[in-house]
Every structure is written in structure tokens, then in C-alpha cells.
Structure 1
Amino acid sequence: MHWHRLKNSGPFWMVVACLSFGVMGVFVKLGSHSFSTAELVFYRCLAGFIGILLIALPARRPLRVSWPLLQVHLGRSVSGFLSLMLYFFAISRLPLSTAVTLNYTSPLFLMVVSTLWYRQWPMRRQVLAILFGFVGVVLLLRPALDGDEWLAGLLGLCSGLLASIAYMNVHELGRRGEPEWRTVFYFSLVSSLGAGIWMLLQPGELAQLHLDNLWIILGMGISATIAQLSMTRAYSKGKSLVVASLAYLTVVFSTLFGVLLWGDRLPPSSYLAMLLIAACGVVSARLGAASAARPQRPA
């Protein structure tokens, strides 16, 4: 009875998704010693592309879309691909918890991007949430900016910005009735092609797959797939605001993995910054949902 309730609970599946995203980050960090960022993104997205094809082709689901819709798909896919590249790069250079938290600034950026796109000034509480959230960003980036990790820190922050643009396009695709599987298909296709071209253009030889590193690729692909499926089920089973608020558990799991596996020891200000960013991200998501019903005028 308890298991039946759990498997139909949105919060439960979001916890599973967050744990799986944290595990994916572990495999990305482990793989960064053997593979380039482009190679990791390529293998990660190729697995998703093949998986979607195995679902769509036997069911004869249509993959073609009209040109206006394709433009939105391309906007989502390109921004998502670049965000993923920067995110994986940040994971390879920064403590896992720091890289994950910087990527999870996307709700803060999303509110800023939405304001610019819809030309609608946010509520005072939204402005305060954004300001306090970016105070947390400054606190979190201070150790990186004072050392030799400043570039990775800034690129990790840019991954959050690009993720917010991708989410804007995902929202637009959902508004137009596009199914989630087709959105994932185009994202996986564009990202696989983009990472594949990047791999071929980068200097040096490509890493060879063998038994010593194949488990990393498999672990990354499996954990990412479980995370995506669990997150989708979480949003279908539970209230969106509750589920979205739990998304920051990925930061908690990543922090624990960083301490246990790599002995990460961050200054107290970094932990305070993570808490501040997570809290402001949750508030931003809730206030953004509350203001969604207000009339909006696209640019």
C-alpha cells in the first residue's frame, strides 16, 4: 500500500529525479578525466536520441513539424545544447555542488528573461527574489573569482542563463501543443550533431571507448535517462509548484556526493550562498506561476 502511494506521488518521483541528476553529475565529473566536454555531451545526447527514435518510429509518430514550430524547436535545442556544454565544463573544473548550483540559477534568469520578453515589470517580491538570488551568486563565485577557477564559474553561470532561454522555448512549445517526446527528439538531435562536430574540430585525438571507461558513459546515460523519466512522471503526478520546489534537492545530493567522493570542503559563505540561491529560486518559481495568469504582451 505504501509503495503504491509512493509510485503515484509527484514529490517521490522528483526526489528520484534529483538523486539521478546528482548521480549523472558524478559520472560527468569522473568522465572529465578521460573525455572532453564535447564527447561527454555527445554520448549523453546520443543515448537520448536513440531512445526517442526507438519509441517514436515503431509507433509511427510524426517527427516533421511546420517551419514556425521548427524555429521554436531550434531555439530551444541550440540554447539547451550550449547550456549543457557549459554545465558539463563547469562540473569538470569546479566542485560538483558549485557547478550544479550555478546551473540552477535558471529560475532567477527566467524571471529576468520573461520580463524582457513580455515587457511586463515584475512584482516587488519578484525583484527582491532576483536581487537576493544574485547576492547568493556573488557569494558562491567569490572563491572561484579569487582563484584560478573564475572562467569555469562564469561559464557555469552562463549555463543557467541559457537554460532559462531553453525553458522559455519549452513553455512556448507546450503552449502550442507540442508533445514532450518531440521536444526531446529535436533537442537530442541538435545536441548530438553539435557535440559531434565540436568533437571533430577539437585538437587532439578522440578518447577511445574501452572497458576502463565504458562504465562511465553507461552510468551517465542510464542516470540521465532515469532522471528525465522520473522528472516527467513527477510533473504528471504532482502539483507543479510542489514538485518544482523540490528540484533543488539536486544541489543537496551533489553536495553530499562532492564531500563523500572528492572531499570537497567549501567555505561557510558558499553553503550560505547555495541556500540563498535555492530559496530565491523556489520563491521565483512560485511567484512566476502566480503571475502567469496576468495578461502578457510578447515583444
Structure 2
Amino acid sequence: MSNITIGILLLVAGNFFASLSDVAVKALQGDVQPFQYMFIRQLFSLVLITPLWLKQSRTQKKLQQKSITLIRAHLILIGSGCMVMAITYLPLATANAVFYTAPLLMLPLSFILLNEKPAAGKVLATIIGFIGVLIVLRPSQFHWAALFALGTACTLALFNILVRKLPKEQTVITTLWWTTILSLPTSFILTVGYWQPISHTNIAFIALSAALILGYNGLAVLAYKKAHSSEIALAEYSGLIFVALFGVLWFDEIPDWITLIGILLIVLPLTPFKKRKKS
């Protein structure tokens, strides 16, 4: 089995886990405050990551670029809070279609923040993608929760752009551990004022969501180490297929053909096409 095939399988498995995480959030049915969700999920994430962080050498454990990591930690909080609202009140396929615009948003943000000048083809692809977003959201049937879905996409885009500011020698485990622990003080302060009784079932759903997202992150890292991103990135969008199927099976959410066209317009610009070499 080639490295590309292995990479694709790892990414598909990772997106399957991420889609199940969305199902776990949807299953909360709005009974858990977003601030509670943020704090409990980050706490469980810390418990899961800490044993891996402790196994590293003292040098590997050290945090670099503290200010960037602190910003990214709070972007996680904003994004996860927005994600809870979006998934709770929108169909899974609709919410995720908007989440997947994060790579499109990275283009204008990288121009503003990193002074990167995009090629004309990328600009055109981004415009097509945003037309797809408008089709999915349909302004005539606009739901306020779509703003939270866009908020998640924006935080994801910023989160990914700021990765470029981190030193390459810093391990993924160290980055995840410090990002998680730096998010806890703010999430704790926010949740104190909004704390409400929470059932063991809902705690289990949040813990499951945390574990599944960490599983996705780990599988994604392994996948991109096996093959170049341009060769396997398309497998990332298997998540849209999974959430659409889960929406139909468990929540009776059947996307119409207009939504499917919009999703197609979002995904196509992100598809890595290879140019044929002249013989």
C-alpha cells in the first residue's frame, strides 16, 4: 500500500471521528451552555494530552512564542463556542459546509496579516467558494445561527494562519498541550457565571467530543507526514459526506439539491488539481 493511499485512509478516518464529534455536540440538544462545553471539553483534552506531553524531554516540553499560543488558545474557545451554537440550531451538513470555508477565508486573512499576495486563480477560486456559501445559507431563508458558523470558520482560518508563526521544532504535542492549558483560565471564568446542573450523559458526550477531536488531530498529523498535502487534501472533505449521512440517519436532516450545489461550489475550489506534464 502506497504512502498516498495510507495518508488518504488516515484522513478519512480522522474526518469520520470529527464528524462523530459533531454528532456528540448535536446530541446535547442545547442543554449545555457553550461556556460549560468549552471548559469541560478543554479539561478532558488536557487529561488526554498530558501523559503524552510528560513523556517528552524537557527541551521538547518548553513553550515558544507564548503570545501567539495564547491567542490561538482563545481562538479555540471562540470557535468551539460558535460551533456549539451553529451545530445546535443548523442542520449538520449546513453548519459543516460553512466550517469548510476556513481555507477560503485564509486567503484574504493571509494577505492582511502576512502580506502574502495570492495568485489570480486562487482569488477566483475563493470567489466561487463564497458564492457556494451564499447558496448554502440562502439569505432569503437566513438563520441567525449561520453567523456562529461563520464565526467558527473565521477562528479556524486565523488559528491555522498563526501556526506559521510557531517554530517548526516545537512538537505537535507541546503545541496542543500549551494551547489547551492556556485556554482553561478564561473558559473557567466564563463558565462560573453560567454554570448549570449537567447530566452524566451530557458530560459523556462532551468527553467523547474531546477524544474524537484529538483523534482527528492525531490522524491528520500522521496523514500529512505520510504524503504531501496536495496529494491527499481532498480526503478532508469526506467529513461533509459523513455529516450529511449522520444528519439523515440520526436527526432526520435531509439536505436539498440547492444545499448540495452550494457545498459542491465550496469544495471544488479547494480541490488540488494537478497539471498534466507535456510529453
TM-score, reference length from structure 1: 0.83
Q: Which amino acid aligns with 1:275?
A: L
Aligned to 1:28: 25
Q: Which amino acid aligns with 2:221?
A: T
Does residue 207 of the first structure (1) align with residue 205 of the second (2)?
A: no
Q: Is the 8 A contact 2:3 2:227 kept in 1?
A: no
Q: Which amino acid aligns with 1:44?
A: R
Q: Is the 8 A contact 2:106 2:161 kept in 1?
A: yes
Match of 2:182 among 163, 186, 190: 190
Change (3 A) 1:279 1:207: farther
Aligned to 1:178, the other structure's residue is in SS state coil
Aligned to 1:157: 150
Cα distance in structure 1, aligned partners of 2:208 and 2:14 = 15
Aligned to 2:118, the other structure's residue is in SS state coil
- C-alpha displacement at 1:61, in angstroms? 3.7
Write the mapping of 1:52-63 to structure 2, written as runs, cut at 5 A.
52-62=49-59, 63=61
Cα distance in structure 2, aligned partners of 1:107 and 1:45 = 24
Aligned to 1:294: none
Aligned to 1:91: 87
Aligned to 2:39, the other structure's residue is in SS state helix
Aligned to 1:43: 40
Cα distance in structure 2, aligned partners of 1:115 and 1:226 = 32
Deviates more, 1:109-118 or 1:131-140: 109-118
Cα distance in structure 2, aligned partners of 1:34 and 1:6 = 43
Does residue 130 of the first structure (1) align with residue 126 of the second (2)?
A: yes
Aligned to 1:9, the other structure's residue is in SS state helix
- C-alpha displacement at 1:24, in angstroms? 0.4
Deviates more, 1:5-14 or 1:18-27: 5-14
Structure 1 spans left out of the alignment, 5+ residues: 288-299
Change (3 A) 1:35 1:117: same
Aligned to 1:150, the other structure's residue is in SS state coil
Q: Is the 8 A contact 2:62 2:174 kept in 1?
A: no
Cα distance in structure 2, aligned partners of 1:77 and 1:282 = 29
Change (3 A) 1:28 1:61: farther
Aligned to 2:277: none
Match of 2:260 among 257, 261, 271: 271
Cα distance in structure 1, aligned partners of 2:155 and 2:46 = 21
Q: Is the 8 A contact 1:90 1:156 kept in 2?
A: yes
Aligned to 1:85, the other structure's residue is in SS state helix
Aligned to 1:297: none
Structure 2 spans left out of the alignment, 5+ residues: 275-279
Q: Is the 8 A contact 2:63 2:178 kept in 1?
A: no
Aligned to 1:17: 14
Q: Which amino acid aligns with 1:207?
A: P
Cα distance in structure 2, aligned partners of 1:269 and 1:111 = 26
- C-alpha displacement at 1:33, in angstroms? 3.5
- C-alpha displacement at 1:213, in angstroms? 3.4
Aligned to 2:271, the other structure's residue is in SS state helix
Aligned to 2:101: 105
Runs of 4+ displaced beyond 4 Å? 5-8
Does residue 179 of the first structure (1) align with residue 171 of the second (2)?
A: yes
Change (3 A) 1:10 1:153: same
Deviates more, 1:12-21 or 1:109-118: 109-118
Q: Deviations over 1:21-62 (max 9, x none)?
A: 000000011024431222222222222212222222244545
Aligned to 1:207, the other structure's residue is in SS state coil
Cα distance in structure 2, aligned partners of 1:8 and 1:182 = 28
Change (3 A) 1:95 1:178: same
Q: Is the 8 A contact 2:137 2:146 kept in 1?
A: yes
Change (3 A) 1:120 1:168: closer
Write the mapping of 1:286-297 to structure 2, written as runs, cut at 5 A.
none
Deviates more, 1:230-239 or 1:216-225: 216-225
Match of 2:245 among 242, 256, 264: 256
Cα distance in structure 1, aligned partners of 2:265 and 2:55 = 47
TM-score, reference length from structure 2: 0.88
Q: Is the 8 A contact 1:7 1:13 kept in 2?
A: no
